[in-house]
Chain A
Amino acid sequence: MSTVTEPMNRTADPVLSVRDLRVWYGTERGPVRAVDGVSFDVRPGETLGLVGESGCGKSTLGRGVLGLTPAAAAVDGDVRLNSKGGAGRNLTELSDREIQQLRGPELGLIFQEPMTRLNPLMRISQHFEEALHTHHKGLPKKEVKARALEALRGMGIPESRYENYPHEFSGGMRQRIMIALALVLRPAFIVADEPTTALDVLVEAQIIRILADLRKNFDTSLVLITHNLGIVAEACDRVAVMYAGHIVEQGDARTVFADPQHPYTKELLRSTISLSTTGLHFIPGSPPDLVQPPEGCRFHPRCPVAMVGCATVEPPEVTLPSGVRSTCWQQAVEVDPSLADELGTGGREPLAAVKEISVADEA
């Protein structure tokens, strides 16, 4: 792989730099390489969208960064948190206790299902008191309330609801309370894992607007995990497309969506049903079994433009003139024709008749 440290004409240093992160799960059949060598940066106030099909490692990546992987998972790589409290430490090397202290004031997580993440027996006020007391011992009661109300106000929850229980709120309000809870400690970096999946269209649009406003108002960096490409296009500065544990394309969100480079990104965009859909497209097959991922490029069995060499040689990551980074032989040989030698003789011939993919392999 080529270097990933090239600056993307940004001035600020990244608040989070991830280098070659691997998260493998142990199973009876062998390790599942859910995240397999992923590198990316998130700058202050930036929103990075993480997209891909289910089973591509998006959520695992989000959890891996925060150190929230289950006990059976092995994490390796470099996750540097460069915020004030993070002080450039590698999160994967911290003890459970040390990373626990960073969660809240430095690292935040917004969950998928707002319905199940608030304690039904606790008032909203108690949720905030608990969060603030855990990380700021001895904060006066008045101050706790003031900070909680300020966070809630930012999310459009009136003061009069402060003593209510979670069941008294609608789904959208609960998700806004979740966001307020994550923000009340003013973390430098937040992972939002499918924050709008369980919500309706209009409420979803409201939440997206709130998340998009975050960067303006709080200077919080956000990794937004979603399968909805429309959300990424609207709320994210940059996008990273994941396939089978790898990031296959990353770059400026508008650039990537206006002119996708990697065949997987292209197919993903084509198969999305939007208002402008006039015909149905889909990617044949499903993401591979990550115990035995395909050799060469992991997407080659489903790729419409695969070449013979793609089935055996792993593609390098190249930076295109637009600043977008893509991991695909098609772009690699365009950027640097000398790389074509690696594909071997006849390596650029089209991969004849991509194996017939039946419903048996469907996701």
Chain B
Amino acid sequence: MKTLSKIYVALVFIFLYAPIAVLIVFSFNDSTSTVVMSGFSLRWYKILLADGTTLKAVYNTLILAVCSSVISTVLGTAASIGIEKYKKSIFRSSVMAATNVPMMNPEIVTGVSMMLLFVFIGRALRIESVLGFATILIAHITFSLPYVILTVLPKLRQTDKNLAEAAQDLGCKPVSAFFKVVLPAIMPGIVTGMIMAFTLSLDDFIITYFTSGPGFQTLPIVIFSMTKKRVKPDMYALSALIFLSILILLILYNIAQVKSEEKIKKKRG
């Protein structure tokens, strides 16, 4: 039974990693083939690093992810604090219902519906090409907001309401009571929400595809237009680099987590 379960999990992981292994191996291929290995070379990495459009797209993607995650975190945290104050009311339940819409709707419908809004506004204001950085940013903030709110709200619920009141009784103004007492308590939720918003934005293709124009291209959009033609291994090289950097980040994060847990254990011990 034990060996059987080991084989089973191994097979699942082989399935999950087969295409990734393939693209890493063929990113070092000497020819353009993605089927036959004809020799080891780093030429695709050189071509990739010399390619302006791809690097520009990486830069665009990062800028967009930073802007949308910061704005959605601020908006979403403020919203959560307000929503939490409304107990059971029609207002609260309708706001929460609206918040769930982008999470439940298929991404293609979210993308299409926002595109229709932007196109309509563009026509009304007679703007030639309305789709660009601004529309992608609005779209990314919109689909990130629910995730921020749904990570911050539970933290707010867990915080003891009396703490903020105690701070105010001790002479804090409501605003500084918030910054000194409530904000530190909900910080883990805010950070988790922001990380989620950041990664969602980095990775999004479908919604960006419908809300972007030729003027501002993110990495997934560039990858998409490349896979429309025959993919050359330079795309594989790029993916291998992305994979490597995510792997390193995750390993570092894990080490940090294990270390902080050890610290807590030592303190307790």
Q: Do A and B come from one complex?
A: no
Contact surface of B with A, Cβ cutoff 8 Å: none
Contact surface of A with B, Cβ cutoff 8 Å: none
